[in-house]
Structure 1
Amino acid sequence: MNAISRRGVLALPFFGVSPFRAAPLALDTPAKKELALQLVSSAENSTLDWRSQYPYIEDIHDGRGYTAGIIGFCSGTGDMLKLVELYTRRRPGNVLARHLPTLRAVSGGASHRGLDPFFVRDWRVAARDAVFRRAQEDERDRVCFTPAVRRGRADGLRALGQFAYFDAYVMHGESGFDAVREQARRRARTPARGGTETAYLTAFLDARVAAMRREPAHRDTSRVDTAQRLFLRAGNLDLTPPLEWKVYGDPYRIDRG
């Protein structure tokens, strides 16, 4: 999966955190989830309107083939394949089903040979189908959002920390997230293990930036530095609006959520 970033924050400071406060402030409440999806969309698609991104598709030349949809499903990483398989189970004979053999062949590399010249057109056609749009949302939740929130809660993190986990899942996938989290845990204890939330999140974001800089396509770390770090420095561990941030220099604001 891939991403682009844009965010910063103004909020009331809060210092110190008890892991027992994580559940009522979880990211999977409807308002917080919507906020999280807007934040990710500012990075992935340069807009807060994440629902406008179902038809998005292009090769951004990051070594992952085509990047598409609401969180940047990639033909080269296998998550696009899983999405189209899910769609085909729900809508047999859909316009993307014929591309499944080629998606299997290109998974694991940058090439989209065999998908051209019709796959881009067919993706955009499929995006008109409510079944495909729902499949994108369900796959996003299954592979990124739900595990990020679950693991954030287990580590004693509130909404900001759970969002930092979600954004890392979107860009790096599960294995990449695991590597970032493990590096962070070597430097700081999670709140669930008696550490402070601010110290642990600082370590996590440091590890995240280091991982991004190892990939040429992700060396712009503004989705962390002028968004998530901004919220952390403000002490806004609950991601309480109004939120202001920048990604790639572009400003964003959410007034309520």
Structure 2
Amino acid sequence: MKNPARLAGIAAAAALVIAAPIALALSAEAAETLLSQGKPATASSIEDSTLTAAKAFDGSATTRWASAEGVDPQWIRVDLGATATITHVVLTWEAAYGKSYQIQTSADGSAWTSIYSTTTGNGATDDLTGLSGSGRYVRLNGTARGTAYGYSLFEFKVYGNGTTPSPSASLSRSATPSASPSPSGGTHVDLNDPRKKDIAMQIVSSAENSSLNWKAQYKYIEDIGDGRGYTAGIIGFCSGTGDMLQLVELYTSRKPGNILAKYLPALRNVDGTDSHAGLDPNYTKDWATAAADTVFQTAQNDIRDQVYFNPAVAQAKADGVWALGQFIYYDAIVMHGDGGDPASFRSIRTNALKKAKPPSQGGNQTTWLHAFLDARVVAMKLEEAHSDTSRVDTAQRVFLNNGNLDLNTPLSWHVYGDPFSIA
């Protein structure tokens, strides 16, 4: 898979709601509205010109803010435009997270009051509810990093009341449940439902590991000869594409002195290459040992969600597609990453937009997903290692042709000629 390293996660708003549910949702959410999206933002520093403060408030998890590396403290703040009551903050961290930080409010951007504080942050997503504060400005003040890097946020969402949100902001908060309203009166269960997510993991594992038992893959590691060094773990973290480095860094931040920590200098050196320098001869054996550690397993789960699953599902929901489409996006980002090159997830979606529109733009869901899969097949054929397109042609396309937009079981498919099914 391509490196989405430092990939931004994808924030979303579901599109499949009808007028009556929208009205009800808006009424129910009147006391807590998304206030921060699209508002002016500043930060104490940025890692480079592409990682500005505004990227944490743009509603897109393909973008992020990152501070200068190796420096404490750092902060990022948003100007809500008027005084508001703050009740809820959601922080979606990149691998570079804050271990100690405060959420602060201010009336003037000068004098700050803390409404939340922690010294035990561990990355991923911090959903901070039950807050009580007010101010025009809201700031995250980071005082201790959780990694050797800086602080980095895919999204920094502030909820509350007291300002007038835009219609899109109101809908963003009210239209993103795990079960999306259906025009027919039923619901479409999103891929982040635990049952659907497990199905997604089984289908990906059928292609990545020739097995539906994805939980047995924590210990998997080999060089498959695709130019990306070692491929390992539950979704194929690669030593040459950055995500394996992110994983071992996260593991080490949570469990210093673990059996893989000594390989961090080598992983940094081989990033971007297929080299094993500094890893052989014991890295594969030590990886298998680490895989028995639940801390390492959880780290694999978290990097999978942070870098691949959550961004893919959120973008799919923003495009208005249901569980099958969310899986199609997820499988694409697992294989291709989102680095912006011609074979990346981002490029695949851009090319699909030349042929069709997603439901959120008034298009037909089936037509859109066929266009996306067509663009993905083209991208796969750009790389010899991915030129076998059966995971699209005899799996995802089969589900789509069967009209199974909710990815309901039973499911039967073939990958690389092997048959699989989920009863």
Identify whether the pair has TM-score above 0.5, normalized to the shorter chain. Answer: yes
Q: Deviations over 1:152-176 (max 9, x none)?
A: 0000000010000000110011231
Q: Please tell me whether the aligned partners of residues 20 and 156 of structure 1 are also in contact (alpha carbons under 8 angstroms).
A: no
Q: Which residue of 1 aligns with 2:201?
A: 37
Instruction: Tell me, in whole angstroms, the C-alpha distance in 2 between the residues paired with 1:112 and 1:193.
Output: 46
Secondary structure at the residue paired with 2:408?
A: coil
TM-score, normalized by length of structure 1? 0.91
Question: Equivalences for 1:41-52 in 2 at 5 Å?
Answer: 41-52=205-216
Counterpart check, 1:240 vs 2:408: yes
Q: How does 1:102-141 map to 2 (within 5 A)?
A: 102-141=266-305
Aligned partner (choices 148, 154, 158) of residue 322 of structure 2: 158
TM-score, normalising length: structure 2: 0.56
Name the structure where helix makes up a greater proportion of residues.
1
Q: The residue matched to 1:20 in structure 2 has which SS?
A: coil
Which residue in 2 is equivalent to 1:174? 338
Is the deviation greater in 18-27 or in 58-67? 18-27
Q: Higher strand proportion, which one? A: 2
1:199 to 367, 374, 380: 367
Superposed CA RMSD: 1.2
- Correspondence 1:190 to 2:358: yes
CA contact (8 A) 1:231 1:239 kept: yes
| Distance (Å, rounded) in 2 between the aligned partners of 1:122 and 1:186 | 46
Aligned residue type for 1:19? L
Q: Distance in 2 between matches of 1:128 and 1:40?
A: 22
Runs (4+) of structure 1 moved beyond 6 Å? none
* Paired amino acid for 1:20: V
CA distance in 2, matches of 1:53, 1:101: 25
Residue 63 of structure 1 corresponds to which residue in structure 2?
227
**Aligned-partner residue type, residue 259 of structure 2:** V
Paired-residue identity, %:
61
Matched with 1:88 is 252
- The CA deviation string for residues 77-131 of structure 1, in whole angstroms up to 9 with x for no partner, is 0000000000000110000000000000000111112211011111011001010
- SS of 1:174's equivalent in the other structure is coil
* 1:173-192 deviation digits (Å, cap 9, x = unpaired): 12311011111011100100
The structure whose Rg is larger is 2
SS at match of 1:19: coil
Give structure 1 stretches of 5+ with no counterpart: 3-17
- 1:57/1:69 contact within 8 Å kept: yes
Q: How far off its partner does 1:20 sit? A: 2.7
Q: Report the AA paired with residue 323 of structure 2.
A: A
| Residues 160 and 237 in structure 1, CA contact (< 8 A), matched pair in contact too | yes
Aligned length: 240
Counterpart for residue 20 of structure 1: 17
Q: Deviations over 1:211-240 (max 9, x none)?
A: 111101111111000000000001110001
Q: Please give the per-residue CA displacement for 1:21-63, whole angstroms capped at 9, x wherever unaligned.
A: 9724210011111111111110111101000000000000001
Q: Distance in 1 between matches of 2:364 and 2:402?
A: 15
Aligned partner of residue 338 in structure 2, secondary structure: helix
> What amino acid is the match of 2:228?
R
Give the gaps of 5 or more residues in structure 2.
3-14, 19-178, 181-187
Q: Give 1:220's aligned amino acid.
A: D
Letter in 1 for 2:201: L
Secondary structure class of the residue paired with 1:251: strand
Match of 2:386 among 210, 214, 218: 218
Provide the residue aligned with 1:54 in structure 2: 218
